[in-house]
């Protein structure tokens, strides 16, 4: 099939099944372009809950599709590639969290949305990269536990008086962006602004101009007065930023900052998802109920 034929068939199947396509900012350009909505992980899950369509093809990684399913259990949520996961989310299991919590009796656990439904179910509150600090501040205790991202925990810790005890997880894509990348780009583009995601290492955060979640980058891209911006996150977001503001030159902080799980989905897997109703995301009711409490507390904050 040619690309044109694949796109035409996807459009046909969407109508036939009353389906809609959501894509994360890190998806390949073709998938971003075929999607009805592109956004960050929480935006997409919240969007899913407001849509009238009954079938959601969620082009992202597993925890994102799970969050969408938890917020709209009556819909069919399809993740086009079964093995599209998040290695950081896999750095802590519910059993490990249960054991770890025993060392800190009575302390509240905040879990980054990049975590499994089971880990969310074992946590008190959920957060995203854009609201981690607000969620930490909302906890009525001076000490909080934070899983799984140590870099996001560190970023929140530098802005609060509370003590944050982090789990030792990280995102390999962001953790592999180093100070040398920032210094090299500063030399190469002395006029440019540098933005980084809070999943980056503390020494990188120290040297960039602004720290934004992917959703915040998208908003800032539309209104920035800079003519060149260096982007310190997964490179595929540049496709989205460039579309939003063609006047600005967006340059990757590290050209090889690629999340291989995000790259597993392509137009053919989207087509297969629609044709074969696969892969359906299911969450046991008891896990959903507990995990949803942590997510809803975050939404209320």
The two three-digit tokens of residue 117, written as one number: 């439904």
In whole angstroms, what is the distance from residue 46 CA to residue 241 CA? Answer: 21
The DSSP letter of residue 75 is S
Residue 153 near ligand SF4 by CB under 6 A: no
The two three-digit tokens of residue 193, written as one number: 């602004």
The two three-digit tokens of residue 213, written as one number: 């979640």
Residue 131 near ligand 13P by CB under 6 A: no
Selection from 121, 155, 162 nearest residue 140 by Cα:
162
The DSSP letter of residue 234 is -
Total number of residues shown for the chain: 301
In sequence order, the β-bridge partners of residue 125 are: 110
Q: Which of 88, 136, 182, 205 binds ligand SF4 (CB under 6 A)?
A: 88
Site for ligand 13P in 184-203 (CB under 6 A): 199
Residue 22 near ligand SF4 by CB under 6 A: no
Residue 266 near ligand 13P by CB under 6 A: no
Q: Which of 61, 68, 132, 196 binds ligand SF4 (CB under 6 A)?
A: 61
Hey, how many other C-beta atoms are within 10 angstroms of the C-beta on 228? Answer: 16
Question: 34 or 132: whose CB is closer to ligand 13P?
Answer: 132
Q: Which of 73, 87, 251, 268 binds ligand SF4 (CB under 6 A)?
A: 87
In whole angstroms, what is the distance from residue 177 CA to residue 196 CA? Answer: 10
Site for ligand SF4 in 174-233 (CB under 6 A): none
Residue 127 near ligand SF4 by CB under 6 A: no
Residue 236 near ligand 13P by CB under 6 A: no
Residue 238 near ligand SF4 by CB under 6 A: no
Q: Which of 114, 116, 123, 269 binds ligand 13P (CB under 6 A)?
A: 114
Site for ligand 13P in 149-168 (CB under 6 A): none
Residue 214 near ligand 13P by CB under 6 A: yes
Angle between helix axes 3-17 and 267-276 (nearest 10 degrees) is: 30
Q: Which of 173, 177, 235, 281 binds ligand SF4 (CB under 6 A)?
A: 173
Residues in the interface with ligand SF4 (CB under 6 A) total: 11
- CA–centroid distance for 17 within its chain: 27
Count Cβ atoms within 10 A of the Cβ of residue 90 and give its class: 0-12 exposed, 13-18 middle, 19 or more buried. middle
**Partner in contact with 87, chosen from ligand SF4, ligand 13P, none, beta carbon below 5 to 8 Å by kind:** ligand SF4
Q: Is the dihedral of CA 282, 125, 135, 301 positive or negative?
A: positive
Tell me the closest approach of the beta carbon of residue 9 to ligand SF4, in angstroms. Answer: 28
In whole angstroms, what is the distance from residue 241 CA to residue 88 CA? Answer: 25
The two three-digit tokens of residue 235, written as one number: 């490179």
Residue 23 near ligand SF4 by CB under 6 A: no
Residue 283 near ligand SF4 by CB under 6 A: no
Question: 62 or 185: whose CB is closer to ligand 13P?
Answer: 62
Q: Is the dihedral of CA 199, 131, 134, 284 positive or negative?
A: negative
Catalog residues that contact ligand 13P under the rule CB under 6 A.
Answer: 25, 40-41, 114, 128-129, 171, 199, 213-215
Residues forming the site for ligand SF4 (CB under 6 A): 61, 86-88, 114, 171, 173, 234, 259, 261-262
């Amino acid at each position: 099939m040619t690309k044109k034929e694949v796109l035409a068939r996807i459009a046909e199947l969407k109508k036939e099944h009353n389906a809609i396509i959501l894509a994360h900012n890190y998806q390949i350009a073709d998938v971003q372009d075929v999607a009805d909505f592109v956004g960050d992980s929480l935006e997409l899950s919240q969007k899913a809950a407001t849509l009238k369509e009954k079938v959601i093809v969620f082009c992202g990684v597993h925890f994102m599709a799970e969050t969408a399913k938890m917020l709209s259990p009556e819909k069919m949520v399809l993740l086009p590639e079964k093995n599209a996961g998040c290695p950081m989310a896999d750095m802590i299991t519910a059993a490990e969290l249960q054991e770890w919590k025993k060392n800190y009796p009575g302390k509240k656990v905040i879990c980054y949305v990049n975590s499994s439904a089971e880990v969310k179910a074992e946590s008190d509150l959920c957060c995203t990269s854009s609201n981690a600090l607000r969620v930490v501040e909302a906890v009525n205790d001076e000490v909080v536990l934070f899983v799984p991202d140590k870099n996001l925990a560190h970023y929140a810790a530098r802005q609060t008086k509370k003590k944050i005890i982090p789990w030792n997880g990280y995102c390999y894509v962001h953790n592999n962006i180093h100070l040398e990348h920032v210094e090299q780009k500063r030399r190469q583009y002395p006029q440019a602004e540098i933005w980084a995601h809070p999943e980056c290492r503390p020494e990188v955060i120290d040297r960039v101009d602004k720290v934004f979640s992917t959703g915040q980058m998208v908003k800032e891209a539309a209104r920035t007065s800079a003519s060149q911006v260096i982007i310190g996150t997964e490179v595929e977001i540049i496709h989205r930023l460039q579309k939003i503001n063609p006047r600005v030159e967006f340059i990757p902080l590290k050209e090889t900052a690629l999340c291989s799980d995000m790259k597993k989905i392509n137009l053919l897997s989207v087509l297969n998802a629609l044709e074969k109703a696969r892969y359906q995301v299911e969450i046991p009711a008891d896990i959903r109920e507990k995990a949803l409490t942590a997510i809803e507390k975050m939404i209320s904050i």
